[in-house]
Structure 1
Amino acid sequence: MSPAATPRWKVALVAAAAAGAATLAIVATAALGGDAGATVPPSTEPGATEPADETSARTIAVTGHGTVEVTPDVADLWLGVQATRPTATEAMDVIAAKSTDLVATLKALGAEARDIQTSGVSLYPNYGNDGVAINGYQASVSVNVRLRDIDGVGAVLDGVQGFVGEELTIGGISFSYDDPEAVLGDARAAAVDNARERAAQYAAAAGTDVGDVIRIAESSAETFPPVYYAEGRVAADEAGAVAIEPGTQELSADVTVVFEMT
């Protein structure tokens, strides 16, 4: 059928469909504010702007180190009793009696019960030259004690030596600070000051100034590593008391600080 012969009812339907589509397009355009491709602009109301942070502002990040020196106020002693006897029973009886004397003497000389701890008990046979025959037994007990009076450490060592006798063993001594957090604040403050000084140096080199602190992160805060002394350092001689010198210890803190550059 030729175009000229198209029935009038079909032409009418096509025209109606086209008119409907045009109407829908007009409605859609009106709903979108007259521009189908338009985008909604961002809000410009007060308070809508996000505050600047270290990713949008000019900043500098530096590390700072701070230290504080203190005198230890706590001493930890490793003491013990050791005895060798022909039989296991005899060896154990000796260390039982001597360890009781040791603990009693420690308490009498000012050590608190909460600071005295038995850390080990052992019993071993002693073998002869052939490695087979047992010619005795060695028993031992270890006692750890914390002394909160540094000045009295020498007197304690002398006292336990006198009461326990030749069976006393001294494994060593260490010094530390009982409450590191009480002095860590000074080290942290020094670390922040050090960070600001370093930031000022970089800022001056760049021709700018250091502004407010944006962020602080603690890298580390070192508590006191105990200072150990071997038994040879605390052994008393026949002439008199043991000389105990705790010395000083250093506590340090490290921080990373982000400053605004102005």
Structure 2
Amino acid sequence: MMNNKFLNPLLIVVIVFMVSLIILVNVQIFNGVKEGSYIGKGYEFQNIISFSGEGEVYVKPDMGLVTLSVVNEDKDVSSATEENTKRVNNIILFLKNNNVEEKDIKTTDFSISPRYDYLDSGKRVLAGYQINQSVEVKIRDIGNVGTILEGAVTAGANQVGSINFVVDDSEEYEKEARALAIADAKQKAYELSEQLGVTLVEIVNFSEGGNYPIYDYDEYSEKRVVGMGMLESSVPDIQVGENTIRSSVSISYSIK
């Protein structure tokens, strides 16, 4: 027969375990009842209406971007590279002497391509090498664009890419365009809510679809460059025009 002094502690452990189990079961039942009270309740539906708005700001550009290139060929790759480098260096020297800073001159392309001739027999033979080197130039003195182009061609450029006139710091104009777009959307919301006989409660969503400049371009391509870098005319008359900075927004309201 088991001694009573061992029985009592064992009985206490069993009792504590049973009480803990009962408490745990009751908690689970309570939580289940609580969760069950939400069954069948759907998502609270909101009546929402959305409006779009547009805003535009017109700005005169203050900087020109242009790509100047030197393309040349030679049977010997070293000679072709040497000639190309000499002409590009002359262009860069001219730019620096005309107040274009080094930070505003960036090489964007340098390539060496073999050139082949095809004989009547169909055989391909190496004819030489073509070197293409391009630099992108920021012209901050926008009134000097024509002079820069004419001088760059004289210095050795034989291809001039399309000119892109930009606003160097457009952040404030973008904010202004956004404010106009928001005002446009809110005005539409007010007018339409009056016509529909509904009340605007609060803004529940906002998105901005576009806040971007529309650039003016001037087509100044290689067809205006003849011979070994001579212009058909002297300094070209470059028209800057205006850029459009546009913003598009969408505002959604809850209504009642």
TM over 0.5: yes
Q: In the alignment, what sits opposite 1:201?
A: 191
Flag structure 1 segments of 5+ consecutive residues without an equivalent. Answer: 1-54
- Residue from 80, 83, 88 that aligns with 2:77: 88
CA contact (8 A) 2:218 2:238 kept: no
CA contact (8 A) 2:177 2:245 kept: yes
Count of aligned pairs between the two proteins: 206
Q: Does 1:71 align with 2:63?
A: no
Q: Deviations over 1:129-185 (max 9, x none)?
A: 425233332222111111222211111001112222xx5321322222222212012
CA contact (8 A) 2:216 2:242 kept: no
* 1:68-147 alignment runs, 5 A limit: 68-130=57-119, 132-147=124-139
- In structure 2, relative to structure 1, the CA distance for the partners of 1:159 and 1:198 (3 Å cut) is same
- Residue from 160, 181, 186 that aligns with 1:170: 160
Q: In the alignment, what sits opposite 1:10?
A: none
Q: Does 1:185 align with 2:175?
A: yes
Q: Deviations over 1:17-63 (max 9, x none)?
A: xxxxxxxxxxxxxxxxxxxxxxxxxxxxxxxxxxxxxx77x875422
- In structure 2, relative to structure 1, the CA distance for the partners of 1:139 and 1:258 (3 Å cut) is closer
Q: SS of the counterpart of 1:98? A: helix
What is the letter of the counterpart of residue 73 of structure 1? D
In structure 2, how many angstroms separate the alpha carbons of the residues matched to 1:235 and 1:94?
22
Residue 258 of structure 1 deviates from its aligned partner by 4.2
- Residue from 225, 229, 247 that aligns with 2:241: 247
Residue 222 of structure 1 deviates from its aligned partner by 2.4
Q: In the alignment, what sits opposite 1:14?
A: none
Q: SS of the counterpart of 1:110? A: coil
- In structure 2, relative to structure 1, the CA distance for the partners of 1:172 and 1:255 (3 Å cut) is closer
- In structure 2, relative to structure 1, the CA distance for the partners of 1:137 and 1:80 (3 Å cut) is same
Query: Please, what is the CA RMSD of the aligned residues?
Result: 3.0
Q: SS of the counterpart of 1:223? A: strand
- In structure 2, relative to structure 1, the CA distance for the partners of 1:160 and 1:80 (3 Å cut) is same
Identical residues among aligned pairs (%): 25
In structure 1, how many angstroms separate the alpha carbons of the residues matched to 2:172 and 2:80?
46
CA contact (8 A) 2:63 2:166 kept: yes
In structure 2, how many angstroms separate the alpha carbons of the residues matched to 1:106 and 1:239?
20
What is the letter of the counterpart of residue 165 of structure 2? F
- In structure 2, relative to structure 1, the CA distance for the partners of 1:122 and 1:214 (3 Å cut) is closer
- In structure 2, relative to structure 1, the CA distance for the partners of 1:198 and 1:146 (3 Å cut) is same
CA contact (8 A) 1:235 1:242 kept: no
CA contact (8 A) 2:178 2:211 kept: no
CA contact (8 A) 1:200 1:209 kept: no
What is the letter of the counterpart of residue 171 of structure 2? E
Q: In the alignment, what sits opposite 1:159?
A: 151
Residue 233 of structure 1 deviates from its aligned partner by 8.4
- In structure 2, relative to structure 1, the CA distance for the partners of 1:121 and 1:257 (3 Å cut) is closer
Q: Deviations over 1:76-127 (max 9, x none)?
A: 1111112222321211111111111111111112222112111222222332
Q: In the alignment, what sits opposite 2:37?
A: none
Q: In the alignment, what sits opposite 1:150?
A: 142
CA contact (8 A) 1:234 1:243 kept: no
CA contact (8 A) 2:214 2:244 kept: no
CA contact (8 A) 2:216 2:241 kept: no
Q: SS of the counterpart of 1:133? A: strand
* 1:55-66 alignment runs, 5 A limit: 60-66=49-55
What is the letter of the counterpart of residue 74 of structure 2? R
Taking structure 1 as the reference length, the TM-score comes to: 0.67
